[in-house]
Structure 1
């Protein structure tokens, strides 16, 4: 981030009756109309609360959909995340930048300052939506995108929620883009993951999954220690040219040593092998297990180091700290915020040491 650069200011106006409607039922996904001003340019947008448990927090998160003009920064939709439980506010962005740096698809994120009906609402993280525009902006072939919306997105024939056989192999997913037939291919992929014979798995799984990208994603989940990341907090994109799926991280605030409630999480809490059916089957193949080990060694040497990450973290802190003093939800906890860089640095060192000590298990 450039030193001296100002945080973009977004000014949102919602009619009082629509504010009342929003607040009357925080679980209602129906949007209300709003006006948004960015850099002097005015937009008419649809606005809705976003998230699951985060809707209960005092500082709300939003989904913004543009309709007049219909696009902003080559996007139709973006999300404004309050990052309410993350005392640092940077974990999501730090994670997505890290995933990008290790060769994974990941949403772009930037900090903004939000004013709502003239009052300071505080520092938010603007998150790129994973949709057709996400693909177009990266010059990728359009293809189906599925969001993993609950614990049944575990690549298994069995439900992770009730431990019964799934009624449908697409349960746990919400289709974001594509056509109806794409759901059948998703179901076929999950069936193949579970039924390809062990001796054939290494050569046949590449018909369905980009294994290199999956292993990079796996390394990212493991190193940032997103405990929910294996059965939730991701999207699947199928490249129509190759037929292979790639996996995209989502909602990574519960990382870098803290859980979903912002509480401390031990640096050895998540094992190096992770979990879910697909991960287990891929790591059962010696070739892929060795590839994963080599990848972890490279990332531990290059990107998952204090020398690499500390300047990025310090830059984010310097950038947003002055604005937190104007954030009505965060300014009283500024001392807690100031302690977080050192906390994250300790986590990086401890997590790197833990993973390094376990690498021999992949031999």
Structure 2
């Protein structure tokens, strides 16, 4: 990823007839051919809008699949996120980097500036795709990856959406890489989470889940206060060497004190225990609960505090600030953009205070 003090400029060319087709049905998942130039490298790509509700926003997010060459920078695809509802444009990257800092697997990202058909489009966050290439580039063992695509990825036998018994244990997930055999491992995981007797849970769950990594992920969701993060906005990775599942965050723009619409989310909105079936069962075990409590204290001392986060926030903010006047979707909100670093820092103070006040509930 780019380490310079300026943003890489991506020149995207979508032939007018293809652009009309793309805009004709924003909900279509059928990509159109286009060309992308990055640092004088010309790439043939397939492109389509990405996301669910975000497709309705003025500033679109894109899924880019490399066609010729089929791989670029050791990846077959990337995501270009508009971060349209985030007044700071920082929250997604801030969150994903935070997860990496606290010891959780997390996709890499970088800010870029997008030019579409010769006109400035704006500031985007390029996100690494979580797939087999992510594993390879991160020096991780081969394994399967499942995307949590809706609220039924709740680790339960009951549907979160229609409140009935799930018709299939794959509901809520989409296999990104792996085989049909890996589907069976996912089935086994969900069954075991829901059927291991309480007396055996502490000993048995460690045969299926990397509990330490799960608790670090849980802490990350609780600190950033991603309400959807417990049953959505994640990927499951089954490490092919250990056979254990780990969890990877995804789409974390509704965090650090603002919800999906950019409105204020009070610091006590998400409880210290979070939710979903696996979380509830893990925190039912005293030893796991004490380890989680210890992790919360450790992270507040080391990462989730103003001293640590302030230079990170201001460096990101300063990096993209010069490009704000060229982003036609956000340039009229520069005053709000300027105020967001202080808003986020105040959230960190308030959220940490709230979490400290709740630590006794984990005794």
**TM-score of the superposition, structure 1-length normalised?**
0.99
Matched with 1:317 is: 317
- How far apart are the structure 1 equivalents of 2:308 and 2:75? 30
Give the gaps of 5 or more residues in structure 2.
none
**1:276 equivalenced with 2:259 (yes/no):** no
- How far apart are the structure 1 equivalents of 2:57 and 2:279? 34
Matched with 1:33 is: 33
Residues 3, 319 of structure 1: 8 Å contact kept: no
CA deviation vs aligned residue, 1:51-83 (integer Å, no higher than 9, x gap) = 000000010000111121122221111000000
Please report how far the alpha carbon of residue 169 of structure 1 lies from its aligned counterpart in structure 2 after TM superposition: 1.2
Residues 148, 232 of structure 1: 8 Å contact kept: yes
Please report how far the alpha carbon of residue 181 of structure 1 lies from its aligned counterpart in structure 2 after TM superposition: 1.4
Matched with 1:352 is: 352
Residues 100, 106 of structure 1: 8 Å contact kept: yes
- How far apart are the structure 2 equivalents of 1:32 and 1:70? 15
Secondary structure, counterpart of 1:127 in structure 2: strand
**1:238 equivalenced with 2:238 (yes/no):** yes
Matched with 2:209 is: 209
- How far apart are the structure 2 equivalents of 1:138 and 1:127? 14
- How far apart are the structure 1 equivalents of 2:182 and 2:4? 47
Residues 305, 349 of structure 1: 8 Å contact kept: yes
Matched with 2:178 is: 178
Corresponding residue pairs, total: 363
- How far apart are the structure 1 equivalents of 2:61 and 2:2? 26
Matched with 1:224 is: 224
Matched with 1:50 is: 50
Secondary structure, counterpart of 1:144 in structure 2: strand
Moved more, 92-101 or 2-11: 2-11
Secondary structure, counterpart of 2:143 in structure 1: coil
- How far apart are the structure 2 equivalents of 1:324 and 1:238? 40
Residues 2, 8 of structure 2: 8 Å contact kept: no
CA separation of 1:20 and 1:3: change in aligned 2, threshold 3 A: closer
Matched with 1:167 is: 167
Please report how far the alpha carbon of residue 188 of structure 1 lies from its aligned counterpart in structure 2 after TM superposition: 1.0
- How far apart are the structure 2 equivalents of 1:341 and 1:141? 37
CA deviation vs aligned residue, 1:323-357 (integer Å, no higher than 9, x gap) = 01100001010001001011101100000000011
Matched with 1:9 is: 9
Secondary structure, counterpart of 2:88 in structure 1: coil
Secondary structure, counterpart of 2:130 in structure 1: coil
Secondary structure, counterpart of 1:168 in structure 2: coil
Misfit runs of 4+, over 4 Å: 1-4
Aligned Cα root-mean-square deviation (Å): 1.1
Residues 208, 243 of structure 2: 8 Å contact kept: yes
Pairing of 1:1-363 with structure 2 (within 5 A): 5-363=5-363
Secondary structure, counterpart of 1:170 in structure 2: coil
- How far apart are the structure 2 equivalents of 1:337 and 1:229? 25
Please report how far the alpha carbon of residue 3 of structure 1 lies from its aligned counterpart in structure 2 after TM superposition: 9.4
CA deviation vs aligned residue, 1:104-123 (integer Å, no higher than 9, x gap) = 00010100000000000000
- How far apart are the structure 2 equivalents of 1:121 and 1:89? 14
Secondary structure, counterpart of 1:125 in structure 2: strand
CA separation of 1:180 and 1:91: change in aligned 2, threshold 3 A: same
**TM-score of the superposition, structure 2-length normalised?**
0.99
CA separation of 1:142 and 1:292: change in aligned 2, threshold 3 A: same
Residues 60, 82 of structure 2: 8 Å contact kept: yes
CA deviation vs aligned residue, 1:115-160 (integer Å, no higher than 9, x gap) = 0000000000000000000000011111110000000000001000
Please report how far the alpha carbon of residue 2 of structure 1 lies from its aligned counterpart in structure 2 after TM superposition: 9.4
Give the gaps of 5 or more residues in structure 1.
none
